[in-house]
């Protein structure tokens, strides 16, 4: 049957309908790629408070605050730039001042509470503070919903009048990104749908939910400049806390209590009033400040317990993005397990449809013909012929080829060399030789099967 089917010419059949999975997978893949590209572009476009120069009065790039500093100086406001929390708190002590903290997350948790210990009449301005910072200050505020991007709104966008004169004078400004709500049984001025809140706490605390009004690239949009200069301007000097990274933990010689309970220089702790040698610090550099007695240069960094910087890739995306990636990975693992659900040995199962043997043989022959595999096709035909001849000649499967050829030649009346060439010959060189070989093998098996001296089941062997 094999040889006959292999020699049967190909019959034209209508092509089967192939699965068009790519029609579904390609749009889904493009949509997923578009979503990922959008998330990456949005994360790259958003300013990072941990980057050096973020809202710095001396930085001239898009995320800097040099244009705001120039506008404040034009109004006659004195600006003192400080690069550590200790110097900033000391700079506010002579009298009422405005302490501007553009990156509250960089302030060490031990010194967050000290930001509110300012002289009477001072103001603390925090840009996009987190729940940790607000709880450290003890301010009765909590962050609520956060928008995908900053929205420009009016002071009374939520229908409540805004009593702050700075917001009323500025009008529409880009403030509505992170919103804040007051805790229970507390009320206070709330503007821009919760994007700007003022709290009369131990000191006047102003919380704004977006950095856009202070940045160089957006300060001239709408009422951003008027709002920023209104919050920081006035008769009070501005102490600008310009941190270039996470602040180290306070030590006993920093003027702040290093026991982890907070405190301020005004609380009676010993301080070094010599300054840090930076512009606005009001003193000369003190190389031994913050160094333990008997310590060596470089020990102060280790004693201060500097925090190792976070992975920038981890901080570039919000927490929900990584949670989504984990969920997609789990879903992919479940799909893999579902597709490979046979975890044990193969189990025979009935075929869903019945396939005729002639179609299977014909399909395999077409594959051989398409690949030009005349050698494997000839070996398949010879192996099938040997499998049919050996039982009829009462020979075991491991019989030497010469003996098989001799027994076949004796029963078929052929020359032993011709029989050996048919059963164990060379590879056909052309399709015509393969066709002749298939016909000769079919004729040989039929001749041996009908030989009169072939033993049957009733004959002795």
Is residue 400 in a domain?
yes
300 within domain boundaries: no
What would the mean pLDDT of 443-452 be, rounded to a whole number? 78
Residue 263 confidence (pLDDT) above 70: no
258 plus 390 within the same structural domain: no
Shared domain check, 387 and 275 = no
**Statement to judge: residues 372 and 280 lie in one domain:** no
What per-residue confidence (pLDDT) applies to 272? 33
Last residue of some domain: 262, 287, 312? 287
What confidence score (pLDDT) does residue 232 get? 92
CA angle 198, 199, 203 (to 5 degrees): 115
Contacts of 60 (CB under 8 A, 6+ apart): 66, 216
CA 82 to chain centre: 36
Question: Does some domain include residue 88?
Answer: yes
308 occurs within a structural domain? no
The answer to whether residue 42 sits within a structural domain is: no
* Same structural domain, 282 and 374: no
Q: Does one domain contain both 247 and 141? A: yes
Mean per-residue pLDDT of the chain? 76
Q: Does residue 290 carry a pLDDT above 60?
A: no
Answer yes or no: do 110 and 237 share one domain.
yes
- On whether residue 178 sits in a domain, the answer given is yes
pLDDT top residue among 184 and 241: 241
DSSP state letter for 428: P
Name the one residue in this structure whose structure tokens are 């009048």.
161
b/e map 345-360, b = 16+ CB within 10 Å: eeeeeeeeeeeeeeee
Which comes out higher in pLDDT, residue 64 or 341?
64
> In the predicted model, is pLDDT for residue 12 greater than 60?
no
Residues 381, 382, 387, 390: is their CA dihedral positive or negative?
A: positive
The pLDDT of residue 32 is 83
Q: Which domain holds residue 263?
A: 66-287
Quote the percentage of the chain above a pLDDT of 70: 74
218 in the same domain as 96: yes
What's the pLDDT at 453?
53
**392 and 268 together in one domain:** no
pLDDT tens digit sequence for 389-411: 888 888 888 889 888 888 888 88
Whether residues 163 and 257 fall in one domain: yes
For residue 148, the model assigns a pLDDT of: 79
Same-domain status, 205 and 73: yes
Would the pTM count as exceeding 0.85?
no
The reply to whether 277 and 388 lie within a common domain is: no
> What total number of domains does the chain contain?
2
pLDDT at 109 (0 to 100): 87
Q: Which of 272, 287, 302 is the last residue of a domain?
A: 287
pLDDT digits (tens, 9 = 90+) for 415-427: 888 888 888 888 8
| Residue 104 in domain | yes
Q: Which residues contact 273 (CB under 8 A, 6 or more apart)?
A: 90, 283
**Residue 71: pLDDT band with limits 50, 70, 90:** very high
**Full DSSP string of 219-250:** TTSTTHHHHHHHHH-SSS-EEEE--SSPPPPP
**322-334, pLDDT tens digit by residue?**
888 888 888 888 8
Q: Residue 24 falls within a domain, yes or no?
A: no
For residues 173 and 169, give the distance between their C-alpha atoms in angstroms, rounded to a whole number: 11
Domain co-membership, 123 together with 270: yes
Quick one: pLDDT at residue 26? 77
Using the 3D structure, point to which of 287, 306, 341 is the last residue of a domain: 287
Per-residue pLDDT band for 67 (boundaries 50, 70, 90) equals: very high
pLDDT tens, position by position, 78-91:
999 998 888 889 88
């Amino acid at each position: 049957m094999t040889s006959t089917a292999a020699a049967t010419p190909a019959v034209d059949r209508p092509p089967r309908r192939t699965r068009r999975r790519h029609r579904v997978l390609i749009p889904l893949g493009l949509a997923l790629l578009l979503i990922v590209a959008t998330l990456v572009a949005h994360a790259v476009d958003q300013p990072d408070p941990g980057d050096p120069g973020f809202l710095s009065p001396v930085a001239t790039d898009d995320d800097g605050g040099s244009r705001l500093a120039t506008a404040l100086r034009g109004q006659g406001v004195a600006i003192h730039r400080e690069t550590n929390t200790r110097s900033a708190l000391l700079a506010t002590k002579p009298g009422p001042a405005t302490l501007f903290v553009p990156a509250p997350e960089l302030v060490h948790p031990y010194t967050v509470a000290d930001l509110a210990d300012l002289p009477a009449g001072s103001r603390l301005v925090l840009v996009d503070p987190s729940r940790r910072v607000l709880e450290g200050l003890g301010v009765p505020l909590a962050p609520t919903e956060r928008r995908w991007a900053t929205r420009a709104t009016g002071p009374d966008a939520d229908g409540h009048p805004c009593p702050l004169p700075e917001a009323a004078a500025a009008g529409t400004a880009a403030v509505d990104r992170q919103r804040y709500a007051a805790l229970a049984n507390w009320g206070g001025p709330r503007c821009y749908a919760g994007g700007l809140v003022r709290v009369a706490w131990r000191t006047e605390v102003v919380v704004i939910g977006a950095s856009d009004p202070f940045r160089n690239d957006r300060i001239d949009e709408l009422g951003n400049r008027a709002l920023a200069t209104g919050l920081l301007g006035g008769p009070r000097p501005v102490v600008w806390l310009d941190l270039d990274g996470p602040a180290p933990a306070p030590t006993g010689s920093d003027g702040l209590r290093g026991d982890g309970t907070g405190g301020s220089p005004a609380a009676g702790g010993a301080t070094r009033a010599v300054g840090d040698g930076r512009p606005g610090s009001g003193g000369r550099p003190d190389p031994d400040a913050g160094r333990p007695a008997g310590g060596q240069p470089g020990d102060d960094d280790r004693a201060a317990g500097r925090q190792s910087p976070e992975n920038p890739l981890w901080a570039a995306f919000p927490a929900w993005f990584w949670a989504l990636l984990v969920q997609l990975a789990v879903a992919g693992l479940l799909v893999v397990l579902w597709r490979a659900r046979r975890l044990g040995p193969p189990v025979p199962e009935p075929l869903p449809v019945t396939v005729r043997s002639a179609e299977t043989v014909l399909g395999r022959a077409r594959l051989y013909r398409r690949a030009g595999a005349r050698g494997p096709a000839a070996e398949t035909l010879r192996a099938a012929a040997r499998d049919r001849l050996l039982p009829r000649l009462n020979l075991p499967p491991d019989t030497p080829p010469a003996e098989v050829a001799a027994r076949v030649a004796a029963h078929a009346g052929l020359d032993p060399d011709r029989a050996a060439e048919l059963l164990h010959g060379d590879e056909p060189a052309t399709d015509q030789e393969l066709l002749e070989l298939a016909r000769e093998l079919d004729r040989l098996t039929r001749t041996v099967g009908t030989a009169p001296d072939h033993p049957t089941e009733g004959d002795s062997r």
